[in-house]
Structure 1
Amino acid sequence: MPSHHHAWSADLIAPDDDFAGAPLLRKEFALDDGHGAVTSATLFVTAHGIVEPSINGVPVSDEVLTPGWSSYEWRLRYRTHDVTRLLSSGSSVLGLALGNGWFRGRLGWSGKGAFYGSELAALAELHVTFEDGHRQVVGTDSSWRSGPSATTANDLYDGQSIDARLESRAWTVPGAELTGWVGVHSVEHDPARLQPYAGPAVRRQEVLKPVRVWTSPAGATLVDFGQNLVGWLRFTVQGPAGTEIVVRHAEVLENDELGTRPLRSAAATDRFVLSGDQDSFEPTKTFHGFRYAEVTGWPGELAADSLEAVVVHSELRRTGTFECSDDLLNQLHRNVVWGLKGNFLDVPTDCPQRDERLGWTGDIAAFAPTAAYLYDVSGFLDDWLADVDAEQQHADGLVPFVVPDVLKYVDAPSSFPAPESTAIWSDAAAWVPWALWRAYGDRDALARHYPAMTAHARRVESLLSETDLWDTGFQFGDWLDPQAPPDDPIKAKADNGVVATACYHRTLRQVAAAAEVLGRPDDAGYFSALADRVRSAFRKHYVSDGRITSDCATVYALAIEFDLLEGQDRQDAGDRLAQLAQENGWRVSTGFAGTPFVTGALSSTGHLDAAYNLLLERQCPSWLYPVTMGATTVWERWDSMLPDGTINPGEMTSFNHYALGAVADWMHRTIGGIAPLEPGYSRVLVEARPGGGLTWARSGLDTPHGRVETSWTVDGDAFALEVTVPEGVSASVRLPGPDGDSAAEVGAGTHRYTATIAGGPEHG
């Protein structure tokens, strides 16, 4: 986290007229005379809403949607930009273009917006330093002016409307006569909220061209970008003045037309009115989750090179790769990567397209280990965890369903429970920091997140029954169990008390271990003892004769993976889990709770073949079924699209949710064979376990200490492995087959191994 906070002197200012929710703010200024050349100039900027700063009409940076979405009540982040190159001698214009963003736009499914305030406002300070040491400060204050832009409507869910006839660059030019411009007024705010970003900004990341443009049966012009992505369209066009081009976005087609029903009330529609000259459009005050676009009103013929899709997400560095001999698995892995990209847009969201896009805590609790392998998400999740901490501090340790918690402002449907800690979702306060600790080994980050970890653990302790079980109150439980009714995703087979108690045990072990790392022996002892009590209670009340209450895949997976069983009980649970998986024809029978852990529970109890059978199954519900249906991201439901190509009839479905993609963590560790033995991979476990008919796999991971790479092949019963270990790292290499128990400890360099595996590659 940046250590220094900027001490602000400027005012937070709002325009005297709202100008359709997209006002422009400007200040003309001259550089102070007689101090020599400018040696540096720094702009600090934030807003209520989103802000695009410019100097003399030149954008200050390539960032978009700044300052993103944080728990604005307590944290408003600002960006710092070096703008030395943009200042000109003589007069300059500092400009700020505002939009509704998350602050005032619609959020959630209530149809409402403006949860954080009714006025857009901006805060900016330009600090100029001259040769002789003189400093000049230009900040937002009552002398600024505000005026209209070419944007006539903007909302993250509903889209943006731009009228090119209203476009003018005059506002960026010193000395311009501006008609229709009015003043500004200052807005009260608490400067203590202002914090530098801990995480990365949102930027345009890549550009995709259409793979197909055609006319639908109903006569609509449709465009396919070949990939479900998040961002917007960008194009340059010329046509008669007043012509309106309308672009609607959707993730899928249904009956050969745009499938917009899953968007619910999100209009996801951009409108562009032409000026008559050549117009360039890019709607940077919204974003859409889409693969397909429907374009109406285009002058002349729309061709594949007429427009492009701009992919937008937080700036993240790719760290982990995986590929193998099975093309469907490779596509599944690509889908997981794209799901992360689409939903890591400032806040880790459940989905990026419908009227929701919220920071659901349960989704990232499940997905954090996968995310931390694929990308360096340390800064991104560190920033979000600061919001988790802020929310729980102001709710007596309660970690809400979503962070930032906008649901506290929404009249919940009567079916919705009163807010209380809930397993997996609230457990994000422990599971996410722990996943980051394992991936990056950053002790300072763990220390920052520790208060929220313990606050959550203590709150849930107060919710336990006299029996030491977490078996009362609302739980999402094994949400979206594929055997639950489509309109009632909460009706899972797994007993809620079993799920919640198991998850709480995992949290307690992580909190105790974190206390140990941070040198807090009293806490470590306390949470460890509590974990022991919860574990005994779980076994006493839920385990009997090798069966666990509610006898379904999820409860066995959690009991095994969260270390609630030992000896024969553990083996019996593994055997029963494999039996249930086989009886279900290797189709998935777990929801949010069980899915991240079911393959691991099988492979860690001697059922590697069963884990592969589950992973490689293609019938619905399975991980590969969506891939066979052409999916390019991970779906929210196993059957978001039915085999006949129609969309799931439930009220809630999305084609870009990363939660069920958490199986990629097992793929990285078990197929690729790369796992941390020590936090931050200072020691690495290399244990590739071939199966499922795979003949080769390759993985690589940029760890904090350098790149680890594995590559293996199977030919008949001959297994060959190559491992590359960076300087300063040691690896424990375990080989498959009868020699599997003998691990080799190796240091830096490239190492080669061979082993004989029984029976060669088979897939049952």
Structure 2
Amino acid sequence: MSTPRPASVRFEHHQLGRPGVGRLGVGDTRPRLSWQVPEAPAGYLQLGYRVEVAFEPPVGRPQTSVHEVRGNEQLLVPWPARDLASRERVRVRVQVEGPDGWGPWSEPAVLETGLLAAGDWSARFVTAPWPERAGTDRRPFLVRREFTLPADARIARARLYLSAHGLAEAEVNGRRAGDEELTPGWTSYAHRLRYATFDVTDLVRPGANAIGVWLGDGWWRGRIGFEGGVHDVYGTDLAALVQLEVVTADGTRHTIAGDGGWQAGPGPLLFSGLYDGERFDARLYDPAWSLPGFAAAGWEPARTAPLDAGVLGAPTGPPVRCTEELRPVAVQDKGNGRHLLDFGQNHSGRLRLRVDGPAGTEITLRHAEVLQDGELCARPLREAAATDVLVLPGGPVEWEPRFTIHGYRYAEVSGWPGDLEDGAVVSRVLHSDMARTGWFSCSDPLVDRLHENTVWSLRSNFVDLPTDCPQRDERLGWTGDLQVFAPTAAFLYDVSGFLHSWLADVAAEQAEHGTVPLYVPWIPLGLWGRFPMVPAAVWGDVAVLTPDVLHSRTGDTEVLRRQYASARAWVEQVATTAGPDRIADKTFQLGDWLDPAAPPDSPAQATTEPGLVATAYFAHSARRLSAVAALLGEASDARRYADLAQEVAAAFAGRFVRADGRLSSDTQTAHSLALLFDLLPGDDARRAAADRLADLVRQAGGRIATGFAGTPVVTDALSSTGHVAEAYRLLQSTACPSWLYPVTMGATTVWERWDSMLPDGSVNPGDMTSFNHYALGAVADWLHRVVAGIAPDAPGYRRIRFAPRPGGTLTSAAAAHLTPYGRASISWSLDGGLLRVAVEVPPGATGVLDLPGTEPREVGHGRHTAEVALPA
């Protein structure tokens, strides 16, 4: 037996091991380390590890130290060296010891810190010299600055630190810095403003240089929200925050920062809005604008504004990038230069054009998710224009918008000169560039398509923060949507760093407003802005339940510690508002939002009593908070919240459980919540509720009857109580409403409503109709854990439970997940009454094989197979 070589060395949850994907400029001074062991012989057990840390200055020799630790930990182990300072670059290798001694060193992993202290920033914001009007659609502008480096300088390292009030894209000597989109993203700007770090070593040069920054309205001052939205939420002035640091071979650091030496001027971007699109006049574009020596006619000295460096922070998650390009699968020539393009997949992104035509020709791009009567159906966009305009300069041009994003499958291109050649228009898919970690397949192609639709809805809505939809005048970080979907997301993608950032905003907004808002970042909008800030169940429970999910899936207790005050404040607030009777029915609730029985224009009018939903969640969050408190060593809190959960469960049973065991709201959602959250008084009541739930499913003919609260739990409530057949009947129904009904209607993403498109092909008449919401795709978590049968049985998948429960018409299923320890997988097939199962357990983890009709048994790392006869 030989000791294996570690691989995939990682720092915290940064995706630095992905070539060309990892970010520079992280904010960790003592980053925890993780690694995997891809292949290990039977009997291998890590006995210890060594970490080699090499500090690599821009100039001079690295300083290297080796640190040895005994034990088998390999996930988020403590940083062994001195604290990192600003601008430091380290190269780390790991070596492990097994029973046969020390193995080979891993490949090195590299991390670089950003500017960690307020005093590291010498830059000020650079903005326009002219006054900007409030509440209007204004023309964005450019800022630029020339600078000179010594003529004999040899560039050792150059870093550009960039943020903005608005959105920013930088160029150095005519070349773009990095490939991130929508920088710096959207955070609760009053509390947190991220900056990005770019390696521009290859872009700067001795002698004359220039740097230029495009600016766009973005979320800072652009229109956000529904019912007309609001402008200028965070301010009226766009501004760039730029600090370029160049280290030459003699060790000198040259800093070019936002100061009085910048100029501001108009560019070719006439309008930019996230909802409404962009207007770009290429006749006004001079590619020399970011080169030294540019004659900046009409430009003026820029104004500077002070920087509060205390709100600046480095990113924890990946940036938004173009992750894929889609070509049209069909093009209809409508005549007169108008073409209708079908990209075959609903997604978030924007179009890139390659075109040549007479100067002044206007090409207009419109976007929509669906067609009606053969044309774009724009009604679901509400007041989002989703329209881009390119004015041709005369001559060939390649162009895509910079500071907007759309949700669409179809696009109308009008004003096109000549023939629309293959490749002239492609769609660039944009979202946060997270690593894919989970896969699922089965023998039913409709279920496979449902799962793929869920993946695409995640991709479409994880755009810097988790939004509800990517297309209409909304795109907000609704807390309830993410709360129900977090388990699915955490299986499919590495969402840890992404959600850590957003959860920090949840806590900041909660502290400011006194409760967890319905969406984060919070902005006052229409009816929602007029509601009192009161705790709303399902939505506000994100403060407790989502950190708990992340801990379960990654083994990271630090996310629990960071969010603990937020989680505790949420449960305490619910306890206060519920009062001594422990029934959470005294404040406004959204309840089982989008219950299919609710009227199209009133999605909160569910058939399940809102107070039942809220009280069930109150008990569940209190119980989970007790477990978190115990894990963090908060013993008194653990006892308090365990007692509180028992009190709420008793109150729930007293108010909502009838003598015959049925719930007062005789609905799929009510019975599912009571069963899965363990709120029923004894086994008899539990059996009665489970049987009634199965009856309700049969009486509905397998049609779904749940909204946001019930949908994530209904199949689990059935399968965990012996009603597997009814769970599969729900899953595989194609009648409206059901999960597969949209698939039969051609859906390529998960819909907001069960009937966003009606059986006759018309769009639901409700004002709130999206074809790309992930919330109802939360069933995918059940597909992974129960249908395929793979789930964490200890935090971070240190122990993995393989427990498939076949049913319905499925004859096979499979799933794989890149756990923190490595790849785990399961596949099963049915041959008559024989179930054949194959599983894979990564080194460092153990597995539990839990097959129908057998006692669970533990297995070690490696590949294992089993056959069992299913009970008749």
Which structure 1 segments of 5+ residues have no match? 760-764
The separation in 2 between residues aligned to 1:215 and 1:581, in whole angstroms, is 47
Judge conservation of contact 2:337–2:414 (CA < 8 Å) in 1: no
In the superposition, the TM-score normalised over structure 1's length comes to 0.96
Q: How does 1:87-126 map to 2 (within 5 A)?
A: 87-111=204-228, 112-126=230-244
- After alignment, is 349-358 or 94-103 more displaced? 94-103
Question: How far does residue 219 in structure 1 lie from its aligned partner after superposition?
Answer: 9.8
Aligned residue among 299, 308, 315 for 1:190:
308
**Letter paired with 1:683:** R
**Letter paired with 2:700:** N
- Residue 377 of structure 2 is matched in structure 1 by 259
| 1:754 lines up with 2:867 in the alignment | yes
Question: How far does residue 148 in structure 1 lie from its aligned partner after superposition?
Answer: 1.4
Give the 3-state SS of the residue equivalent to 1:106 in structure 2. coil
Judge conservation of contact 1:51–1:65 (CA < 8 Å) in 2: yes
Aligned residue among 652, 664, 669 for 1:549:
664
Question: How far does residue 215 in structure 1 lie from its aligned partner after superposition?
Answer: 3.9
Aligned residue among 281, 288, 298 for 2:416:
298
The separation in 2 between residues aligned to 1:192 and 1:665, in whole angstroms, is 39
Aligned residue among 189, 205, 212 for 2:323:
205
Aligned residue among 394, 398, 405 for 2:522:
405
The separation in 2 between residues aligned to 1:326 and 1:104, in whole angstroms, is 47
**Letter paired with 2:157:** S
**Letter paired with 1:625:** Y
Aligned residue among 439, 442, 452 for 2:553:
439
| 1:622 lines up with 2:738 in the alignment | yes
Cα gap change, 1:593 to 1:219, in 2 (>3 Å): farther
Aligned residue among 811, 815, 838 for 1:722:
838
**Letter paired with 1:179:** A
Q: How does 1:262-411 map to 2 (within 5 A)?
A: 262-396=380-514, 398-407=515-524, 410-411=525-526
| 1:460 lines up with 2:583 in the alignment | no
**Letter paired with 1:402:** Y
- Residue 420 of structure 1 is matched in structure 2 by 534
Aligned residue among 769, 782, 797 for 1:681:
797
Aligned residue among 357, 381, 394 for 1:239:
357
Q: What per-residue deviation string (whole Å, max 9, x for no partner) do you get for residues 385-423 of structure 1?
A: 010011011123x0000000012xx35379x63221100
The separation in 1 between residues aligned to 2:511 and 2:534, in whole angstroms, is 14
Judge conservation of contact 1:217–1:257 (CA < 8 Å) in 2: no
Q: How many residues align?
A: 751
Judge conservation of contact 1:471–1:501 (CA < 8 Å) in 2: yes
The separation in 1 between residues aligned to 2:714 and 2:335, in whole angstroms, is 43
| 1:506 lines up with 2:657 in the alignment | no
Aligned residue among 656, 661, 678 for 1:563:
678
Give the 3-state SS of the residue equivalent to 1:21 in structure 2. coil
- Residue 13 of structure 1 is matched in structure 2 by 126
Aligned-pair identity in percent equals 49
The separation in 1 between residues aligned to 2:526 and 2:835, in whole angstroms, is 59
Cα gap change, 1:558 to 1:148, in 2 (>3 Å): same
Judge conservation of contact 1:10–1:123 (CA < 8 Å) in 2: yes
Judge conservation of contact 2:543–2:570 (CA < 8 Å) in 1: yes
The separation in 2 between residues aligned to 1:308 and 1:176, in whole angstroms, is 33
Question: How far does residue 217 in structure 1 lie from its aligned partner after superposition?
Answer: 10
Judge conservation of contact 1:705–1:729 (CA < 8 Å) in 2: yes
Judge conservation of contact 1:263–1:354 (CA < 8 Å) in 2: yes
- Residue 54 of structure 1 is matched in structure 2 by 171
Judge conservation of contact 1:218–1:257 (CA < 8 Å) in 2: no
Give the 3-state SS of the residue equivalent to 1:84 in structure 2. coil
The separation in 2 between residues aligned to 1:314 and 1:465, in whole angstroms, is 42
Aligned residue among 807, 818, 823 for 1:702:
818
Judge conservation of contact 2:141–2:266 (CA < 8 Å) in 1: yes
The separation in 1 between residues aligned to 2:678 and 2:175, in whole angstroms, is 57
- Residue 87 of structure 2 is matched in structure 1 by none
Judge conservation of contact 2:849–2:857 (CA < 8 Å) in 1: yes
Give the 3-state SS of the residue equivalent to 1:632 in structure 2. coil
Q: RMSD value over aligned CA atoms?
A: 1.5
Aligned residue among 744, 748, 760 for 1:644:
760
- Residue 81 of structure 1 is matched in structure 2 by 198
Question: How far does residue 32 in structure 1 lie from its aligned partner after superposition?
Answer: 4.0
- Residue 3 of structure 1 is matched in structure 2 by 28
Aligned residue among 602, 606, 612 for 1:492:
606
Moved over 6 A (4+): none
Question: How far does residue 20 in structure 1 lie from its aligned partner after superposition?
Answer: 4.5
Cα gap change, 1:219 to 1:203, in 2 (>3 Å): closer
In the superposition, the TM-score normalised over structure 2's length comes to 0.85
The separation in 1 between residues aligned to 2:465 and 2:699, in whole angstroms, is 40
- Residue 144 of structure 1 is matched in structure 2 by 262
- Residue 281 of structure 2 is matched in structure 1 by 163
Judge conservation of contact 1:216–1:256 (CA < 8 Å) in 2: no
**Letter paired with 2:849:** V
The separation in 2 between residues aligned to 1:12 and 1:26, in whole angstroms, is 13
The separation in 1 between residues aligned to 2:523 and 2:675, in whole angstroms, is 35
- After alignment, is 38-47 or 648-657 more displaced? 38-47
- After alignment, is 81-90 or 612-621 more displaced? 81-90
Question: How far does residue 85 in structure 1 lie from its aligned partner after superposition?
Answer: 1.4
Question: How far does residue 438 in structure 1 lie from its aligned partner after superposition?
Answer: 0.8
**Letter paired with 1:425:** W
The separation in 1 between residues aligned to 2:714 and 2:187, in whole angstroms, is 34
The separation in 2 between residues aligned to 1:202 and 1:676, in whole angstroms, is 29
The separation in 2 between residues aligned to 1:24 and 1:505, in whole angstroms, is 54
Judge conservation of contact 1:20–1:151 (CA < 8 Å) in 2: no
Give the 3-state SS of the residue equivalent to 2:698 in structure 1. helix
Q: What per-residue deviation string (whole Å, max 9, x for no partner) do you get for residues 697-749 of structure 1?
A: 1110000011101011001101100011011111111112x33xx01101101
Aligned residue among 131, 144, 148 for 2:249:
131
Question: How far does residue 216 in structure 1 lie from its aligned partner after superposition?
Answer: 5.5
Give the 3-state SS of the residue equivalent to 2:527 in structure 1. coil
Question: How far does residue 459 in structure 1 lie from its aligned partner after superposition?
Answer: 1.2
Question: How far does residue 514 in structure 1 lie from its aligned partner after superposition?
Answer: 1.0
Judge conservation of contact 1:24–1:98 (CA < 8 Å) in 2: yes
Question: How far does residue 758 in structure 1 lie from its aligned partner after superposition?
Answer: 3.4
Question: How far does residue 230 in structure 1 lie from its aligned partner after superposition?
Answer: 0.5
Cα gap change, 1:435 to 1:633, in 2 (>3 Å): same
The separation in 2 between residues aligned to 1:499 and 1:304, in whole angstroms, is 53
Give the 3-state SS of the residue equivalent to 2:711 in structure 1. coil
The separation in 1 between residues aligned to 2:584 and 2:619, in whole angstroms, is 10
Aligned residue among 290, 296, 300 for 1:178:
296
**Letter paired with 1:369:** P
The separation in 2 between residues aligned to 1:33 and 1:273, in whole angstroms, is 40
The separation in 2 between residues aligned to 1:142 and 1:453, in whole angstroms, is 45
**Letter paired with 1:108:** G
The separation in 2 between residues aligned to 1:244 and 1:353, in whole angstroms, is 23
- After alignment, is 156-165 or 218-227 more displaced? 218-227
